Structure 1
Amino acid sequence: MKKHALQLIMVFGVATLLTACDKKESNKKVRGDWRSKDSSTSLKITDKKFIMDGDVQNAEDYFTKGDTIFTSFEGNQPYTKFVIQKLDEQRMNLLYPDSVAVEFIR
């Protein structure tokens, strides 16, 4: 009986860890249409897609974790990381993977 209880606890623990690690959420504040302050770059973020410069053909899947947006084309890895430096209703500062900071406005 003790053996079955211990196995059940281990299975429950593993299931909890897997669901916690696989949590891919979307930050509602980042969704919308954005343009860089100098209007050279447009960015559209929907529930599931990250679209840069209106290139719908190359729209990337994304998820957020903390202050980072992880994108990938058709689920391929490695993920491209964009760090959110500042985010409010009208402004978003993104640090691109090549360490260039870009300010976006709605």
Structure 2
Amino acid sequence: MKTYALIAVHIVFAILLFSMSCSNPVKDKLQGNWTSKDGKTKLKVTDKGFALDNNAEVPEQYFLKGDTIYTSFEGNQPYTKFVIQKLETNRLTIQDPDSQVIEFTR
């Protein structure tokens, strides 16, 4: 009986560790509506779309690799790179492809 209890405990912890490792906390923190400090630039990030302005009719697809956001319009290459310099719950600082640093708040 003790063996079954130990096996059950190990299975539960394995499932818990696996589920935590498959989630992406950076992507979860990144999602939402952001506004630049000067109020000129809006950023909307969903689970599949990245739109840098409100005028963007179709958001670009994106994926994360480390601290870099790679975007592409409908999967076309080359990818546009945005480097995340700082990401907190209500603050985001990114470096755009032109090496400009943009600070956003929610």
Q: Name the CA distance, whole Å, in 2 between partners of 1:94 and 1:64.
A: 13
**Structure 2 segments unaligned to the other structure (5+ residues):** 1-23
Q: Give the counterpart letter for 1:38 in structure 2.
A: D
Q: Name the CA distance, whole Å, in 2 between partners of 1:44 and 1:94.
A: 14
Q: Give the counterpart letter for 1:105 in structure 2.
A: T
TM-score scaled by length of structure 1: 0.73
Q: Name the CA distance, whole Å, in 1 between partners of 2:36 and 2:84.
A: 14
Fraction of identical pairs, as percent: 56
Equivalences for residues 52-71 of structure 1 within 5 A: 52-71=52-71
TM-score scaled by length of structure 2: 0.73
2:98 matched to 1:98?
Answer: yes
CA RMSD, aligned part only? 1.4
Q: Secondary structure at the match of 2:98?
A: coil
Q: Give the counterpart letter for 1:75 in structure 2.
A: G
**Structure 1 segments unaligned to the other structure (5+ residues):** 1-24
Give the number of equivalent residue pairs. Answer: 82
Q: Give the counterpart letter for 1:98 in structure 2.
A: D
Q: Name the CA distance, whole Å, in 1 between partners of 2:37 and 2:56.
A: 22
Give the superposition deviation at 1:58. 3.7
Q: Name the CA distance, whole Å, in 2 between partners of 1:56 and 1:100.
A: 20
2:51 matched to 1:51?
Answer: yes
Q: Secondary structure at the match of 1:33?
A: strand
Q: Name the CA distance, whole Å, in 1 between partners of 2:71 and 2:31.
A: 14
Q: Name the CA distance, whole Å, in 2 between partners of 1:56 and 1:81.
A: 18
